[in-house]
Structure 1
Amino acid sequence: MSAAPVENPRVLFVGGLGRSGSTLLELLLAQSPDVCAVGEVVHLWERALGADERCGCGEQFTACPFWRQVGEHAFGGWSTVDRDEVLALKDRVDRTRHIPRLARSSLSAAQLADVRKYADLYTRIYRAALAVSGARVVVDSSKHASLAFALRWADGLDLRVLHLVRDSRAVAYSWGKQVRRPEVVDGEDFMPTFSPMEVSKLWTAQNAAFHLLATRAQVLRLRYEDFTADPAGVLRRLRLFAGLPDDPAALRLLGAPGDGSGSARPSAHGDPAPPPAVPIRAHSVAGNPLRFSGGPLTVRRDEAWRTRLPRRSRAVVSLATLPFRVRYGYLGQQRSSDSVETS
């Protein structure tokens, strides 16, 4: 489905550190036709255009009809995009070390030109995604704070940022596991792994950056643990934040209110209902392997890190991330991490 071009595309940018549940939120939001989820667009230049990796729909990027149309709408075809030039521009703009500069109230003429040229690439993609899909909001789960800071300088972009937080100890446990990347076409590749101290530094830096961004842009903070406790309520809140109506049909994949399951199988009234007739997928260019599962999805609480994260590692992460753990209400919690399963 196609719609008229959108002058000021609205994007819900999901920010935070990876392994915090952004793919799950994105997939559930994308089941409503007024939402178009595109995955982690920040990786499009290297993983999609460079390596021709698989889209969340299962097709390789160059073979995906959705992304081919997006490329035509945005740039007159992906072949017109100078990938090397984009990557060089990205290095000048979109790096964590540039955040202090991007947070300023003004930039030099040269810096402003670079930032707006870089942000315009994303604005074009968002606008094209809305035109091709007919949706009203694009969800970009790139997560990188530096990209969010760059997008705040964009001309003609309605930017709304979701700051997604998860217990640092659960995140450290997840980043220590070896996870295969099913989107890779040739050979076998795995997502990177990080030590507990590395995760602590990244978790603290990313969260601190989004606190700073909240003083300069529309930012809504959400704990992933709160999402699993009340998925329907959180999705309603996110739709409201994104400027979308409270539509019961948008929650059709969730379980009965208060059942805590988050299952895609029960109806909104708790009556048995068949699984969705279509796979739970989105045209995502990068993200957690969950996007290839096909669904239905089930959200459940998982405390595996409490027994499987080595005591020393847990102590390192707990101490290194203490200030923000206190701020987010994780100190002394008995149950504080979550995971996603597919059935």
Structure 2
Amino acid sequence: MARGGRLNQDVAFIFGAGHSGTTLLGLLLGAHPRVCFAGEAWNSTRLGSRNTQGRVLGCNLCTADCPVWSDSHADGSPDVYEMLARRTGRRFAVDSTKAVAWVDQQESALPSAVRRHLIVLLRDGRAVVNSGLRKYPDATPEALTTEWVAHMRRTEDLATRWPGTVTRLHYEDLAEDTENTLRSLAAPLGLEFLTTMLDPWHSEQHPLGGNQGTQFLVARARATRAPAGPDLPPPPDTAGLGPSKRGYYRDHPPAVVLDTRWRDEMSPAALAVFEAIGGDTNLPYAR
């Protein structure tokens, strides 16, 4: 029996800037049979509401009758990680929420016996800013770079004062050498590396929020393997993705692929702005 009757024993927070591969890493970890990837778990506080696109917020890969998130607080417990453990049988929770206030709140509320892990996922800031420019055409390089610098400072501050294990890894290493990077990550988390972690595309997952494109690949792979039924929606169409993602993910294989589009897409003017504002901050992250 778990310590003190508790099922959830470990919580890992994946922290870094948006567009850094946090959803991808969470899905890879969530393909481990001991791990439940919650996605951005702060969304559990607003299940059933509608986002700006009019979509009802819930599990991204299930129908409305998700066995994990449907009526998820029926037991009256505010502890989302213990709820996940009891509903999935997986004692290791992974949360990719990228808000310091949420992470601080959740970490401080965990019982002392629960092991706390912080995974700092790093990516070249130019790639992050370029993704923002692609997704938000009205955004400026100045604003996006300034926000990226501020977020990385918050990230490093969180890592400095974290009370548990801290593991740092680069998105570029994860994409180019997935198996060895996961092997190196598994050890400090107290997990054994399993080859199932290399195939999240056919695993059972129930994430909230996160990158639409990456989760589209999972939904498409699962749907092509088995016919649609009461537990799986019909095969997805790229029309459900934002305009900035449709072309890229339409022909994307169910695999981890290094995304270096910023090298071709980012204009010299945008690169100059980034260098002026974020060049020094980017030195440890540049690839």
Q: Summarize the Cα distance change of 1:149–1:284 in structure 2 as closer, same or farther, 3 Å threshold.
A: same
Q: Of the candidates 191, 213, 228, which is equivalent to residue 244 of structure 1?
A: 191
In the alignment, the residues of structure 2 paired with residue 158 and residue 70 of structure 1 have an alpha-carbon distance, to the nearest angstrom, of 23
Are the equivalent residues in 2 in contact too, given 1:69–1:132 (CA < 8 A)? Answer: no
In the alignment, the residues of structure 1 paired with residue 7 and residue 273 of structure 2 have an alpha-carbon distance, to the nearest angstrom, of 48
Aligned residue type for 2:19? R
Q: Summarize the Cα distance change of 1:125–1:151 in structure 2 as closer, same or farther, 3 Å threshold.
A: closer
In the alignment, the residues of structure 2 paired with residue 242 and residue 194 of structure 1 have an alpha-carbon distance, to the nearest angstrom, of 37
Q: Summarize the Cα distance change of 1:155–1:59 in structure 2 as closer, same or farther, 3 Å threshold.
A: same
Question: Shift of residue 199 of structure 1?
Answer: 1.9
Question: Shift of residue 163 of structure 1?
Answer: 1.1
Question: 1:92-124 deviations in whole A, cap 9, x for unaligned?
Answer: xxxxxxxxxxxxxxxxxxxxxxxxxxxxx4xx1
Aligned pairs, number: 241
Name 2:99's counterpart in structure 1. 144
Aligned residue type for 2:66? C
Question: 1:219-262 deviations in whole A, cap 9, x for unaligned?
Answer: 2221111111211111122222222123x343452xxxxxxxxx
Q: Summarize the Cα distance change of 1:55–1:292 in structure 2 as closer, same or farther, 3 Å threshold.
A: farther
The answer to whether residue 258 in structure 2 is matched with residue 315 in structure 1 is no
Are the equivalent residues in 1 in contact too, given 2:23–2:96 (CA < 8 A)? Answer: yes
The answer to whether residue 235 in structure 2 is matched with residue 231 in structure 1 is no
Question: Shift of residue 49 of structure 1?
Answer: 3.5
In the alignment, the residues of structure 2 paired with residue 155 and residue 67 of structure 1 have an alpha-carbon distance, to the nearest angstrom, of 20
Q: Summarize the Cα distance change of 1:245–1:193 in structure 2 as closer, same or farther, 3 Å threshold.
A: farther
Alignment of 1:7-22 (within 5 A): 9-22=9-22
Residue identity over aligned pairs, in percent, reads: 29
TM-score normalized by the length of structure 1 = 0.64
Work out which of the two has the higher radius of gyration on C-alpha atoms and give 1 or 2: 1
In the alignment, the residues of structure 2 paired with residue 302 and residue 38 of structure 1 have an alpha-carbon distance, to the nearest angstrom, of 24
SS in structure 1 at match of 2:97: strand
Aligned residue type for 2:281? F
Name 1:292's counterpart in structure 2. 216
Question: Shift of residue 291 of structure 1?
Answer: 1.3
Are the equivalent residues in 2 in contact too, given 1:29–1:250 (CA < 8 A)? Answer: no
Structure 2, unmatched stretches of 5+, are 51-55, 222-252
Question: 1:142-175 deviations in whole A, cap 9, x for unaligned?
Answer: 1222322333322404321111111111111111
Are the equivalent residues in 2 in contact too, given 1:56–1:281 (CA < 8 A)? Answer: no
In the alignment, the residues of structure 2 paired with residue 281 and residue 127 of structure 1 have an alpha-carbon distance, to the nearest angstrom, of 19
In the alignment, the residues of structure 1 paired with residue 30 and residue 134 of structure 2 have an alpha-carbon distance, to the nearest angstrom, of 27
Structure 1, unmatched stretches of 5+, are 77-120, 179-190, 254-263, 265-275, 331-335, 337-343
In the alignment, the residues of structure 1 paired with residue 211 and residue 181 of structure 2 have an alpha-carbon distance, to the nearest angstrom, of 21
SS in structure 2 at match of 1:171: helix
Question: Shift of residue 192 of structure 1?
Answer: 9.1
